[in-house]
Amino acid sequence: MTQPFDIRLEMLTGANASSPEAAAALCAGTPGENTFYIETFGCQMNVHDSEKVAGVLLGRGYQQVETIDAARLVLYNTCSIREKAAQKIYSRLGAYRKYPGEEKIIGVLGCVAQQEGEEIFERSPWVRLVCGSASYSKLPDLIHELETGNRRVMGLDTDTDATFETEITRRDNPFRAYLTIIEGCDKACSYCVVPFTRGPERSRASASVLKEVRRLADAGYSEIQLLGQTVNSYRDPSSKRISFAELLVSVAAVPGIRRVRFTTSHPRDFGRDIVEAIDAVPELCDHVH
Ligand code: SF4
């Protein structure tokens, strides 16, 4: 389940792009060739997706900049949980109408991208990248296509069984690390768009999760927040088949990890074993979203 508030990833982007001054500054100045700016709307999943997108770009030699006018690649990671989300993004994209040149590459990511698809190219022809949240595993290939001269690239698959894992994730907090263990949702609540924008549930193998937790602990992180739209619906796809409660206990046992939280959990899959694990293991915080 997504949360009903917007987060601006100020720490990652460091700029206020919503002001008229910022809109007027679009495409002003001479951006460096491999520079990017990313603005995020929505839940913690989106915030962490942006951290991973930033990691993909940093791994390709891009430099993150703090203002739109300093960026060659401008990305909006969007959320569609709120009414009029698409209009809000189109209004933001409309600010680029005055600057039809090739100086900037504009990309729309996330749930609005998944929902609107090619409509974004039709209504905002200056946009060159549209990638839905279920297709992030293809993002490095899409960026490569842009780099090699393709005018428009799009990723909108929802039938993937891949999760979005990156070699580098540009984490924003020096102590607490978000870590996605399951993407998508199979629950199909009548009012919710997430199963359509993020695709079916795909879990990450437990060994891969624990390897990353150990790497994060070695890097000095002491708190892990496991993420998923329905995080406790986690199903280990590896032969180990460990349960969500067992995964929690294993994450908490990694030396250096002092606190473990998870969000967002679904009541249907909230078994007694999760409650017992939280009760028994001090590192598992008494905190359920
Ligand atoms: S469909 Fe999934 S993400 Fe949406 S509210 Fe229901 S459980 Fe949460």
Whole-number Å distance between alpha carbons of 288 and 274: 11
Check pLDDT > 50 for residue 9: no
Question: For residue 98, how far is its CA from the centre of ligand 1 (angstroms)?
Answer: 39
The pTM of this model reads: 0.78
Q: Which residues contact 183 (CB under 8 A, 6 or more apart)?
A: 45, 133, 134, 163, 164, 198, 199, 201, 202, 228, 229
- Nearest one of 138, 139, 132 to 184, comparing CA atoms: 132
CA 222 to chain CA mean position, Å: 21
* Atom number in ligand 1 closest to CA 266: 7
Question: For residue 2, how far is its CA from the centre of ligand 1 (angstroms)?
Answer: 7
C-beta separation of 76 from 36 below 8 A:
no
Q: What are the tens digits of pLDDT across the range 201-217?
A: 999 999 999 999 999 99
Question: For residue 229, how far is its CA from the centre of ligand 1 (angstroms)?
Answer: 7
Question: For residue 168, how far is its CA from the centre of ligand 1 (angstroms)?
Answer: 29
Q: What are the tens digits of pLDDT across the range 114-136?
A: 989 999 999 999 999 999 887 88
Question: For residue 176, how far is its CA from the centre of ligand 1 (angstroms)?
Answer: 25
* Atom number in ligand 1 closest to CA 2: 3
H/E element holding 249?
helix 244-252
C-beta separation of 47 from 8 below 8 A:
no
Whole-number Å distance between alpha carbons of 42 and 27: 26
Check pLDDT > 50 for residue 13: no
Mean pLDDT, the chain, integer: 85
Range with the lowest mean pLDDT among 35-44, 201-210, 268-277? Answer: 35-44
* Atom number in ligand 1 closest to CA 186: 2
Domains parsed from the chain with CATH numbers: 10-155 (3.40.50.12160), 176-280 (3.30.750.210)
Whole-number Å distance between alpha carbons of 153 and 151: 7
Phi-psi region of 52 (alpha: psi -120 to 50; beta: other; left: phi over 0): alpha
* Atom number in ligand 1 closest to CA 195: 1
- Nearest one of 69, 75, 43 to 56, comparing CA atoms: 75
Query: Binning pLDDT at 50, 70 and 90, where does residue 145 land?
Result: very high
Query: What pLDDT score was predicted for residue 27?
Result: 40
Mutation probe of ligand 1 site: the residue of 80, 183, 187, 190 with most atoms within 8 A of C-beta: 187
Query: What pLDDT score was predicted for residue 30?
Result: 55
Helix (H, G, I), strand (E, B) or coil at 81: coil
Mutation probe of ligand 1 site: the residue of 43, 230, 231, 232 with most atoms within 8 A of C-beta: 230
- The more confident residue out of 246 and 200 is 246
Q: Which residues line ligand 1 (CB under 6 A)?
A: 1, 185, 187-189, 192, 194-195, 229-230, 266
Range with the lowest mean pLDDT among 15-24, 87-96, 119-128? Answer: 15-24
Query: Binning pLDDT at 50, 70 and 90, where does residue 199 land?
Result: confident
- The more confident residue out of 218 and 4 is 218
Question: For residue 40, how far is its CA from the centre of ligand 1 (angstroms)?
Answer: 20
- The more confident residue out of 229 and 158 is 229
Range with the lowest mean pLDDT among 4-8, 103-107, 249-253? Answer: 4-8
Tokens 């039709």 map to which residue? 122
Query: What pLDDT score was predicted for residue 26?
Result: 38
C-beta separation of 231 from 260 below 8 A:
no
In this structure, which residue's CA is closest to atom 3 in ligand 1?
Answer: 1
CB atoms near residue 47 (< 10 Å)? 20
Dmax over CA atoms of the chain, in Å, equals: 60
- The more confident residue out of 113 and 159 is 113
- Nearest one of 273, 275, 264 to 233, comparing CA atoms: 264
Mutation probe of ligand 1 site: the residue of 194, 201, 231, 264 with most atoms within 8 A of C-beta: 194
State the average pLDDT over residues 14-43. Answer: 60
* Atom number in ligand 1 closest to CA 188: 1
Whole-number Å distance between alpha carbons of 193 and 195: 6
H/E element holding 250?
helix 244-252
Check pLDDT > 80 for residue 146: yes
In this structure, which residue's CA is closest to atom 8 in ligand 1?
Answer: 1
- The more confident residue out of 282 and 149 is 282
Question: For residue 5, how far is its CA from the centre of ligand 1 (angstroms)?
Answer: 16
Alpha-carbon distances of 83 from 79, 192, 227, rounded to whole Å:
10, 12, 24
In this structure, which residue's CA is closest to atom 5 in ligand 1?
Answer: 1
Query: Binning pLDDT at 50, 70 and 90, where does residue 84 land?
Result: confident
C-beta separation of 288 from 245 below 8 A:
no
State the average pLDDT over residues 130-150. Answer: 87
Range with top average pLDDT, 34-38, 119-123, 258-262: 258-262
